[in-house]
A and B are shown apart, each in its own frame.
Chain A
Amino acid sequence: RRAVLAASAPSTPPDISDKVSESIKKAEEACSGDAVSGECAAAWDEVEELSAAASHARDKLKANSDPLENYCKDNPESDECRTYDN
């Protein structure tokens, strides 16, 4: 199920993805001693921030995923891309 999800959606840029998994590990460590401490909350807050950043990065990739659109941005004069308003 998870493999299907990962394949269908654009994947997160690897640098952010690494940071997310790293921050989760750190948060789990920070909370292993004291689950209600400030450090624990701050560590999970970092996870949240990075997860949100990862999701925004995915959305950005999804928005730029049309191959023709991308090609036309660079080559507006080609036959495939020319559009006239009238």
Chain B
Amino acid sequence: MKPLQTSPNPWPPPKNRRRQTTSSSFYLYAPSSPDFTFHLLVGEKNCAAPLPFLNKTPKMATCTVYPAPSLRSSCSFPGPAKTCLGFQQGQVIFLTSGRRSGRRGGRSSSEISCSAEAKTVVIGLAADSGCGKSTFMRRLTSVFGGAAEPPKGGNPDSNTLISDTTTVICLDDYHSLDRTGRKEKGVTALDPQANDFDLMYEQVKALKEGVTVDKPIYNHVTGLLDPPELIDPPKILVIEGLHPMFDARVRDLLDFSIYLDISNEVKFAWKIQRDMAERGHSLESIKASIEARKPDFDAYIDPQKQYADAVIEVLPTRLIPDDNEGKVLRVRLIMKEGVKHFSPVYLFDDGSTISWIPCGRKLTCSYPGIQFSYCPDTYYSNEVSVLEMDGQFDRLDELIYVESHLSNLSTKFYGEVTQQMLKHADFPGSNNGTGLFQTIIGLKIRDLYEQIVAERAAAAVEAAKV
């Protein structure tokens, strides 16, 4: 990587250089934040900047961002961190790519006209057991308001959660083999043989079309398939579990899909936290359990991430050398470009490669600090934007400072991300990137839902005219 030239940064910048945005130098003005520094990385594909940011000399140029009391250029900067590209916060970009239209844009207006209101938006969440699916679900349902609760008066071991707008169903309910059945056949729950994808497809399709279904219940305590429960079509249906994107028919029903990708090191650390106090468990048993499930996980679960619209990767930190405690995390939010109704979040400037350490006068960080990165990248031959946060917050309310520098968050008011995070300060991951990115994805899903509903309503009006 070639280091950027550090310019002496005269103010006002010389006229001939102001608009120059070649790779050798450019200016970024952020009027409301006069005194932070950021780093620019040029030509490096992987956002993950080399570690020695905090204590060694940075390898990249440091640009000081100027206060801009009056800027008489052709660009105006009404808010913080806006750049000359003309992107506005909250701007909705409708992108229709050929790749997608076959899959999701296939609904024609005539199809919608009759039941515009009734159709359900379906979201898929894939993750291994013990990887924070339930925390994510609680954050997601909280964005839509109202508490999610198990269906009243039914099976006490039901896995379903219902709130006013959202119904979350656990895909373990579509196990075709119960616990003894799997043992006899020698297959794990991760194996497709142990799951009934035909029933999964039929019922998700029916719910999407507004039909009530009789869904089986897999009882996690007894390991048996209990009598079914009635599920009414909600406004938003979330299917969470091991295989939401495994079967192509189910995958095509999803309006948005998320994959929680937890690295082996972090998975191990989390399971120790979860299980060590449990009688009978030991380091060996936790390790053996992860090892034994790994072949099936790699074969059937992990490949699903290539279909996900957003992937949250949780990795060990790079801020502390040789850290294996799994307490400080490096979390990457990988967002697919060109997805209908979903425009990725960006830091400072859409499409640039940026590394940013917010710690300083405005944000208190203790060791090991916080580092953000943002860059365009390729993920399974898809174009993606990657936003990364390494480290953790000491004081959650100072998150507003970070939030104010992120764009395209789909918030309804300034500070909504911070407010959502503060609401659930006791959830795991609230002081690091997992909570932040889960909250952001929650807001993105709300935005996607609202766009789809608005589009259907418009299509219905259109159809009524004809």
Q: Known A27-B289, A41-B188; judge A48-B130 contact (CB<8 A).
A: yes
B280 A49 Cβ-Cβ under 8 A: no
Q: Closest approach, in angstroms, between the C-beta of B25 and any C-beta of chain A?
A: 53
Annotate B266-288 by CB proximity to A: 1 below 8 A, 0 otherwise: 00000100111111110001001
Partner of B187, one of A5, A38, A59: A38
Q: Closest approach, in angstroms, between the C-beta of B189 and any C-beta of chain A?
A: 6
B278 A31 Cβ-Cβ under 8 A: no
B295 A17 Cβ-Cβ under 8 A: no
**Chain B residues within 8 Å of A5, by CB:** 276-277
Q: Known A2-B276, A49-B220, A51-B130; judge A31-B281 contact (CB<8 A).
A: no
A52 B182 Cβ-Cβ under 8 A: no
Q: Closest approach, in angstroms, between the C-beta of B302 and any C-beta of chain A?
A: 16
A44 B288 Cβ-Cβ under 8 A: yes
Cα separation A43 to B279 with both chains bound (whole Å): 17
Cα separation A71 to B45 with both chains bound (whole Å): 57
**Chain B residues within 8 Å of A17, by CB:** 278-279
Interface residues of A in 31-86 (CB under 8 A from B): 31, 37-57, 59
- Tell me if B103 is interfacial: C-beta within 8 Å of chain A: no
A41 B275 Cβ-Cβ under 8 A: no
Partner of A52, one of B186, B190, B220, B276: B220
B183 A53 Cβ-Cβ under 8 A: no
Q: How many A-B contacts if CB must be within 8 Å?
A: 104
A42 B188 Cβ-Cβ under 8 A: yes
B285 A47 Cβ-Cβ under 8 A: yes
Of chain B, the residue at the smallest CB distance from A11 is: B277
Chain B CB within 10 Å — which of A27, A40, A45, A53 has the most?
A45
Q: Closest approach, in angstroms, between the C-beta of A66 and any C-beta of chain B?
A: 13
Cα separation A14 to B156 with both chains bound (whole Å): 17
Cα separation A19 to B280 with both chains bound (whole Å): 10
Q: Known A28-B285, A49-B220; judge A41-B277 contact (CB<8 A).
A: no
**Chain B residues within 8 Å of A21, by CB:** 278-281
Interface residues of B in 124-170 (CB under 8 A from A): 129-130, 134
Query: What's the tally of chain A residues with a CB closer than 8 Å to chain B?
Result: 39
Cα separation A66 to B300 with both chains bound (whole Å): 42
A31 B223 Cβ-Cβ under 8 A: no
- Tell me if B466 is interfacial: C-beta within 8 Å of chain A: no
B278 A42 Cβ-Cβ under 8 A: no
Q: Closest approach, in angstroms, between the C-beta of B272 and any C-beta of chain A?
A: 11
- Tell me if B119 is interfacial: C-beta within 8 Å of chain A: no
Interface residues of A in 2-21 (CB under 8 A from B): 2, 5-6, 9, 12, 15-17, 19-21
Cα separation A20 to B187 with both chains bound (whole Å): 19
A45 B292 Cβ-Cβ under 8 A: yes
B285 A24 Cβ-Cβ under 8 A: yes
Of chain B, the residue at the smallest CB distance from A35 is: B292
**Chain B residues within 8 Å of A43, by CB:** 183, 292
| 4 A-B pairs with least C-beta separation | A38-B186, A21-B280, A44-B292, A45-B188
Pairs across A and B, CB under 8 Å, 7 listed:
A17-B278, A17-B279, A24-B280, A37-B186, A48-B129, A51-B281, A55-B275
| B interface residues (Cβ-Cβ under 8 A, vs A) | 129-130, 134, 179, 182-183, 185-190, 220-221, 223, 271, 274-281, 285, 288-289, 291-293, 295-296
- Given A25-B280, A55-B130, 12 more A-B residue pairs with CB atoms under 8 Å apart are A5-B277, A24-B285, A27-B289, A31-B288, A42-B186, A45-B189, A45-B292, A45-B293, A47-B285, A48-B293, A53-B221, A54-B278
| A interface residues (Cβ-Cβ under 8 A, vs B) | 2, 5-6, 9, 12, 15-17, 19-22, 24-25, 27-28, 31, 37-57, 59
